[in-house]
Amino acid sequence: MDEYLLEVRDFERTVYGRPVLRVSALTLRRGESLAVVGMPEAEAELFLHHLTGRFLPDAGEVRLFGTPTTEIRTEAEWFPYVRRIGLYDDRWPLLEDWPVEVSLLATLAMDWSTPVDERRYAEVRALARRVGLRPADLERPMAEAGPAIRCRVHLARALAFSPDLLILFYPTERLDGAVAFELGRLVRRVCRGLTLLLFTRDESFAAWLCQRLVFIDPSTGVVREVRARFPGWERLRRWLRV
């Protein structure tokens, strides 16, 4: 079993010969939770594509589950790796004209190993319970679902195939404080022990959710690891008495 799920060494991405993103060294061990704090969203998305093997580095190395991404040459070889990753990204479209349940069903239907039958509906209901969605929530049209329901749907989609690595990509960027807190509390509860990589601008949220916090300078590649310093989310927890 691989100790590291992600390893980055001397990474560099260039555009027209000019470096646009560098990362000197970054590792994520199995069972760890790591937050990349403050990286601009455009650079973070570019980095994410390299971490998941969609893009290949122009210099240096990215290892995904122990394998250099440069050795994953075909889509058929890549699929088993990417299947082990759950990605929370609330920019992904949902089926707005259909009930919430259908968005979850469509996620599970990406796996064609079993038909859309009562067994698949049972999986949807179990997944919904895991993220705190009620039966009434599943019947609600997606377009009428508020942020508290939508963030649960996105988390359920990320967890649908029992990933080895969960990536949260700026999960609180478009949420108000109370809903963001509920999402954080939900992640802490349902993802305990799961390897977690968080991209965020909110250092307090990162400190509340993750064991390790790093700041990366995309222009130089310098990675600076810091201790959690802001107790704001713990103060909010006490204020809400949860």
- Tens of pLDDT along the chain (242 residues) come to 568 999 999 999 998 889 999 999 999 999 999 999 999 999 999 999 999 999 999 999 999 999 999 999 898 999 999 999 999 999 999 999 999 999 998 888 765 555 667 888 899 999 999 999 999 999 999 999 999 999 999 999 999 999 999 999 999 999 998 999 999 999 999 998 999 999 999 999 999 999 999 999 999 999 999 986 655 555 555 544 44
pLDDT for position 112: 53
Run of H or E residues at 151: helix 147-159
List Cα–Cα distances, 82 to 52, 147, 165, 202, in angstroms: 7, 27, 10, 27
> In the Cβ-directed half-sphere of 104, how many Cα atoms lie within 13 Å?
31
Calpha distance 27→202 (Å, rounded)? 21
Torsion of CA 193, 174, 214, 168, to 10 degrees: 30
pLDDT for position 242: 43
Which residues, 6+ apart, have CB-to-CB distance to 225 below 8 Å? 212, 213, 214
Calpha distance 171→206 (Å, rounded)? 11
List Cα–Cα distances, 85 to 81, 159, 219, in angstroms: 7, 9, 27
118-130 and 100-108 helices, crossing angle to 10° = 110
Q: What is the distance, to the nearest Å, from the Cα of residue 159 to the centroid of all Cα atoms in its chain?
A: 10
Other C-beta atoms lying within 10 Å of the C-beta of residue 169: 21
Residue whose token pair is 């969609």? 54
> In the Cβ-directed half-sphere of 145, how many Cα atoms lie within 13 Å?
26
Dihedral over Cα of 50, 180, 86, 207: its sign: positive
The DSSP-derived string for 219-231 is TT--EEEE-----
Domains and CATH numbers, the chain: 1-84+195-242 (3.40.50.300), 85-162 (no CATH)
pTM: 0.90
Other C-beta atoms lying within 10 Å of the C-beta of residue 167: 21
